[in-house]
Chain A
Amino acid sequence: MNAAIRRHPVLVTLGVAALFMIAPFLIVVVNAFKSPEDYSNNGPLSLPDSLYTDGITGFWERVDFGQKLWNSVLISGSVAVLAVVLSVLTAYAIGIGRVRGRTWVLAFFVLANMLPQEALVYPLYFLAKKADLYDTRLSVIIVFTVIQSAFGTYLLSSVLGRFPREVIEAARIDGAGKWQVLWRIVVPMNRPTIGVLLVFFFIWTWNEFLLPLVMLLSNDNQTVSVALGVLQGQRLMDATMTNAAALLGVLPAIVFFLLFQRTLTRGIAAGAVK
């Protein structure tokens, strides 16, 4: 080790820093499999005596975690698809249609994306109640479809602005209408960008907290984030239960991460600097 520090000081430093970053994950995994007695006797730093899974299954049943997962998948999946469709339509008009005043339209979408949800939350809550959509997953789907599509419109507009005009003009000369050009040419040729947006919208919506917290009152409609956040906020859990909850909350994120790591990192870069 000493030799390693002398020979590779930068790598060792970065390695230690990286270990510090993932330490919370590791320690959650270790403690999620401890029995309450084991935890109170040996504390949070020891390895479990035996593989205790009752904490996890107990928590799963207590919060009906399967239902929460399904709600999150349903909401995030619907939002991802609908927001991409909405973004594509708007971005087609801006990026390829070059509608008049598009700079302003685009500026509007960027600002809409930056608007704090706090400035929308009470009116949305009020309107959802009026429209009989309060405490429905549909209300959250509608709201996030629009919010996410603000970013999608912005990103896709700048991508489509650079789309080769010759391709579109050739198709138009061959008699394709605007609608056909969009779905047969523009969308297929921009599949990578659209894929990035799908992944992003899914994960972002999955992680959202404030609006789902306000809009989804009943247990049957809550997402994973909201259910875990509310439980934690109420401080109703002991240490082993907390770890079981944390593990169940962390797992989907890790799965997304492993599945989409390349898309995520590529997408962030694309989103940051077009």
Chain B
Amino acid sequence: MSLAAPRKERAAGARRGGTAPLPRRGRRDSYALFLLPGAVAFLLVIIAPFAMNTAWSFTDWQGVGDLTWSGLSNYRELFHDAQFWASFRHSLFMVLSMAIVPTVVGLVLAAALFDFVAKHYGSKVTTVLRACFYLPQVLPIAVAGIVWSWILAPDDGALNAFLRAVGLGSLQQDWLGDPDLALYSVMGVMVWVQIGFPLVVFMAGLQRVDPQLYEAAELDGAGWWRRLWHVTLPQIRPEIHVVLLWCTIAALKVFGAIYVLTKGGPGGATNVPSYFSYTTFFEQTQVGYGAAISTVLTVIILVLALVGLKAQTRAEDVEEGRAA
């Protein structure tokens, strides 16, 4: 996920000293024709709708009838809307369960699978274990939601039945229906859903780590945890970076899981910005207000993405500088 690629190529071209016949500017620009279909499609499906949404966020529009401009009043109202703040607070919990926990756990699992299981038990065992962890990732989130809302159901759900069966009946809960518990239950489900992604990315990343680094660390007497911290972690920093950025953005956007598991309830206990804007658009038909919510969400995501990409590009430049 780096924007540095084209710049690197330009540098490589310059180093060749122009021995390769570089196309002249006129010829080069005629490739612009190939950009045309994409440009038109993006204008119609992404840019225009995005601009409309932003414009509507400054109106008091119900989806029908005339637009009335209301300036910043939607944003002022949002600022005082407890539901809005709660939804963003829940977003932080989602970031914890969809980005931070999966990254940490994924790292430990990937390292254990890569340099322990693969070494002692062969690649077949490793592949099977990796597949088990990855499987939830291919499931439509709606289907994952169906599965879990049944497992977590209070009366005939599988989790409570299991607790009864092992004699822990006193721990039974209304997992998704208890306002104090619902958010944590959703978080648990999201960890289950997400864990496979960092695991697979990290295992792929570990393949390019020089095994000699491990051998050297081992000779120096570093135990498994120290090797994880001092060798694995720095070596797959680019992957960690990408996974954290990617998963954080996914966490901020989470919608399907909330729709299917809790509908934001009970009593708003699991409401998130994305679901909040959906209900504002389509249930309350407060289009202007919904547009303001989604605009704020967009700004947060884009700022995060820009900062993340920038930090990564800088890290790559530093590494290149070191290599050169």
Q: CB-CB contacts of A158-177 with B at 8 A, as 1s and 0s?
A: 10011001100100000000
Binding site for B on A (CB under 8 A): 10-11, 14-15, 17-19, 21-22, 24-25, 27-28, 31, 39-40, 43-45, 86, 89-90, 92-94, 96-100, 102-103, 105-107, 110-112, 114-124, 126-127, 142-143, 145-147, 149-150, 153-154, 157-158, 161-162, 165-166, 169, 178, 182, 203, 206-207, 209-210, 213-214, 224-226, 228-229, 232-233, 239, 242-243, 245-246, 249-250, 253-254, 256-257, 261, 264-266, 268-269, 272-274
Interface of A is mostly: helix
Residue pair B242, A273 in contact (C-beta under 8 Å): yes
Contacts of A114 in B (CB 8 A): 249, 301-302, 305
Contacts of A43 in B (CB 8 A): 156, 161
Partner of A14, one of B117, B131, B263: B117
Q: Which residue of A lies closest to B41 (CB)?
A: A146
Interface of B is mostly: helix
Q: 10 closest A-B pairs (Cβ-Cβ)? A: A97-B31, A269-B204, A229-B142, A249-B143, A123-B49, A209-B256, A18-B132, A90-B38, A93-B34, A146-B45
For residue B94, CB closer than 8 A to chain A, the reply is: no
Residue pair B294, A116 in contact (C-beta under 8 Å): yes
Docked pose: A18 CA to B3 CA in angstroms = 36
Interface size on B, residues (CB 8 A): 109
For residue B107, CB closer than 8 A to chain A, the reply is: no
Of B69-77, B133-141, B179-187, B211-219, the one with at least 4 CB within 8 A of chain A: B133-141
Docked pose: A254 CA to B147 CA in angstroms = 14
Residue pair A122, B143 in contact (C-beta under 8 Å): no
Residue pair A115, B136 in contact (C-beta under 8 Å): no
Partner of A242, one of B48, B150, B274: B150
Residue pair A24, B151 in contact (C-beta under 8 Å): yes
Q: A115-B298, A121-B281, A229-B145 are in contact. Are A253 and B140 (CB under 8 A)?
A: yes
